[in-house]
Structure 1
């Protein structure tokens, strides 16, 4: 037992063949390779006794008999624990039902090899179609190449069966005395070796090219060497093959793997009740026709996602957020806190902004998001994308007044009729009002049943068109792009903005004027706008006398109407034959 433990420690690791880079024991010839040999209980006992009588090291003994040191150690351990019963073959626990694959007859094996030679496909493809493994097909081809059709019979030259025909006699150790093991073949054809994908051997020329490329460029990695061989030598290798070759030659020096930086998990928050926290942010959109940028701000309740107030203007000054804030406070009262980013409308790095002063005066807390971290006001950021996808990109408003009208309808649809995934499919009004059902009923009752249709529908435009004849010449007046265009005989004569006529226009709705303008300046502007427009050119009255363009324009049409310009009865003598309003 003591010699058994010493021998086990000496040869517990290793196989019959010496390790890579290790010299073969002196005086020990390489043992012939056995193919899938299953040792009987007598074979195992004979090998154990032969080893104990040989006084050789376990590694030397196993190398001479084509046996691994691990197998011999296992047999000796089983024999010491259970005697002869420990060496009896046992059924594989992973194959409790027995052998699954059927045995092929010699004729079927010969037909399979012949069919493969004629097919012209790879071994993997043919083996899958035939229903065998690649190793089995390679074994049949190897046997047929070495011993002909007779070698395809079970036990003929394979060494896998015991008995008088193919294996050692019971009680005789393999390799001791007479042996019927097949002689090792001198050389095997490369085509008979199974191709195992990433583990297959590569040509010696390719291996030399990999080593040369690495020595020429020591800093080149696996992918760089692969690309060099493919681009300049036309050799196709994988990075795994390059790695194996470099390891065999001691040239693989991988860089230390950098620790993967873990991304922080998103921190989600939501206040417990409505009115505890409002969020506010600013974004911008572009009008379709003038290509002008407009700015949108809103205040969003954090708990319910309800939009309490909003403003859409042509500037982003402090008044933009202050007006929206006052509207929200007037309609729904004061929140406990308001969360914003560090934009100049909300925060000032030096002193206090007007927005912060207003919150301090009202007793509302101001919570600032971290710098360069828009995720803090992520509810507003996501709402900008929703507005862009569901409204702005679909209708593309032409002017500010249309955009304000459509956005008002869409926000009403969002608050009362659009389910929100962030609040379990409820609409924001469900959470915002809660038990205050009467207030919600009052507000929702004033809304249209199709707020989304009003937001996305075509705008209703009032046409402006006037035509007639003066002194034998055709005269027309129509609206175009917020202007009144006067044409005579099909040629435009003058263009006058609607603002000068005292009529609403898209440009007049844009608040470009300074809010601090004095009352005197506003009065002068009102007087200038109240003056009638003067069209250049000359007109002909009923008597044929030439008259200034200004007087002619006043005589032909005066006074804006809801649907355009309609002529007065007393102006019929000015020469208008037929006048129509479209």
Structure 2
């Protein structure tokens, strides 16, 4: 038997008022004549027939659920419903992300993100192995200059540093420190800022700066993000936004980076379960004897 809506119920009543037979109405609506008569009888007695959704009632939200969700959110600042759901699942606790979203919304921890409602015109991509590509960029925070290097495949923070000035020399210093700890990347992606690339003067081709010379001498490919195309280096821009957000919850930048690398579960790194960037960096390393193509 077909499900009825308010519009269909109103149509049935109108047809009965026009003296159409119950059997004819039932045939058209794919319901029984008895059901048609019941609707019309109710209308004649009460003057109105309201449609009631017969769907199942929502399961209740218990205080224990709220406590677990709020504690997980406190442990992982800024985490959304999906991330919290998977964090709880790792601990053997099953609460749907829809219910978690309700709890977060009730606690005033949810903001509508209109960008997520818009269809993307681009597809996110990432390298398969760690050290295939590093993203580098500078940002300011409370009047100070910081540089960050993030591995593309794992989102692992290779290097983070504070400098008095954002210069090519300091960019090179940060890159060298990252290479000392984690080895040489195949490619490095930056923007077109003078911290990474020299600009032509008086219509003459510019000489490479110290940063560019180091990349060329060490066989590292320099990829420059497309101008006015934030998706090119969008992962790092998103990461910097996350860093600034997390700083409110931690005392030092070292604590922020440590949390991001080794404790904060990342939704985009693994299909079956969420893992930390530190775990992903180790998992995506080339095995001994393998070479990046």
Q: Please indicate the TM-score interval, normalised by the length of the shorter structure.
A: 0.5 to 0.7
Aligned-pair CA distance for 1:38 = 6.6
Q: Does 1:321 align with 2:177?
A: no
Instruction: Check whether the contact 2:130–2:284 (CA below 8 A) recurs between aligned residues.
Output: no
Question: 1-side partners of 2:19 and 2:150: how far apart?
Answer: 78
Instruction: Check whether the contact 1:311–1:321 (CA below 8 A) recurs between aligned residues.
Output: no
Aligned to 1:94: 28
Question: 2-side partners of 1:375 and 1:273: how far apart?
Answer: 20
Aligned to 1:472: none
Question: 2-side partners of 1:97 and 1:435: how far apart?
Answer: 62
Q: Does 1:131 align with 2:48?
A: yes
Aligned to 2:266: 420
Q: Residues 132, 380 of structure 1: CA spacing in aligned structure 2 closer, same or farther, 3 A cutoff?
A: closer
Aligned to 2:126: 270
Aligned to 1:284, what secondary structure does the other structure show?
A: strand
Aligned to 2:220: 364
Aligned to 2:181: 331
Q: Does 1:300 align with 2:150?
A: yes
Question: 2-side partners of 1:38 and 1:102: how far apart?
Answer: 12
**Equivalent of 1:433, from 254, 274, 282?**
282
Q: List per-residue Cα deviations over 1:347-390 (Å, max 9, x = no partner).
A: 23422333222100111001111102222112211111111111
Aligned-pair CA distance for 1:429 = 1.7
Question: 2-side partners of 1:132 and 1:407: how far apart?
Answer: 63
Within a 5 Å distance, the mapping from 1:200-279 to structure 2 comes to 265-279=121-135
**Equivalent of 1:283, from 133, 139, 142?**
139
Instruction: Check whether the contact 1:277–1:335 (CA below 8 A) recurs between aligned residues.
Output: yes
Question: 2-side partners of 1:410 and 1:322: how far apart?
Answer: 23
List gaps (5 residues or longer) in structure 1.
1-34, 40-88, 113-128, 134-261, 287-292, 398-405, 437-582
Which structure's CA Rg is the greater one?
Answer: 1
Instruction: Check whether the contact 2:139–2:146 (CA below 8 A) recurs between aligned residues.
Output: yes
Question: 2-side partners of 1:264 and 1:427: how far apart?
Answer: 26
Question: 1-side partners of 2:217 and 2:157: how far apart?
Answer: 23
Q: List per-residue Cα deviations over 1:460-509 (Å, max 9, x = no partner).
A: xxxxxxxxxxxxxxxxxxxxxxxxxxxxxxxxxxxxxxxxxxxxxxxxxx
Aligned-pair CA distance for 1:414 = 2.2
Q: Residues 435, 349 of structure 1: CA spacing in aligned structure 2 closer, same or farther, 3 A cutoff?
A: closer
Within a 5 Å distance, the mapping from 1:345-384 to structure 2 comes to 345-350=195-200, 351=206, 352-384=208-240
Aligned residues: 188
Question: 1-side partners of 2:174 and 2:186: how far apart?
Answer: 17
Aligned-pair CA distance for 1:90 = 7.6
Q: Residues 97, 308 of structure 1: CA spacing in aligned structure 2 closer, same or farther, 3 A cutoff?
A: same
Question: 2-side partners of 1:361 and 1:390: how far apart?
Answer: 37
Aligned to 2:254: 408
Question: 2-side partners of 1:103 and 1:419: how far apart?
Answer: 59
Question: 2-side partners of 1:419 and 1:273: how far apart?
Answer: 19
Query: Relative contact order: is structure 1 or structure 2 higher (C-alpha 8 Å, sep ≥ 6)?
Result: 2
Q: Residues 431, 132 of structure 1: CA spacing in aligned structure 2 closer, same or farther, 3 A cutoff?
A: closer
Instruction: Check whether the contact 1:311–1:320 (CA below 8 A) recurs between aligned residues.
Output: no
Q: Residues 264, 411 of structure 1: CA spacing in aligned structure 2 closer, same or farther, 3 A cutoff?
A: closer
Q: List per-residue Cα deviations over 1:396-436 (Å, max 9, x = no partner).
A: x7xxxxxxxx2123222322222222213211121212398
Q: Residues 281, 131 of structure 1: CA spacing in aligned structure 2 closer, same or farther, 3 A cutoff?
A: same
Aligned-pair CA distance for 1:264 = 5.3
Q: List per-residue Cα deviations over 1:247-275 (Å, max 9, x = no partner).
A: xxxxxxxxxxxxxxx96522211101111
Aligned to 2:170, what secondary structure does the other structure show?
A: helix
Aligned to 2:268, what secondary structure does the other structure show?
A: helix
Q: List per-residue Cα deviations over 1:16-44 (Å, max 9, x = no partner).
A: xxxxxxxxxxxxxxxxxxx93779xxxxx
Instruction: Check whether the contact 2:153–2:284 (CA below 8 A) recurs between aligned residues.
Output: no
Instruction: Check whether the contact 1:278–1:335 (CA below 8 A) recurs between aligned residues.
Output: yes
Q: Residues 264, 416 of structure 1: CA spacing in aligned structure 2 closer, same or farther, 3 A cutoff?
A: closer
Instruction: Check whether the contact 2:136–2:189 (CA below 8 A) recurs between aligned residues.
Output: yes
Aligned to 2:101: none
Instruction: Check whether the contact 1:311–1:323 (CA below 8 A) recurs between aligned residues.
Output: no
Instruction: Check whether the contact 2:196–2:212 (CA below 8 A) recurs between aligned residues.
Output: yes
Question: Normalised by the size of structure 2, how large is the TM-score?
Answer: 0.56
Cα RMSD (Å): 3.1
Question: 2-side partners of 1:432 and 1:38: how far apart?
Answer: 72
Question: 1-side partners of 2:267 and 2:49: how far apart?
Answer: 54
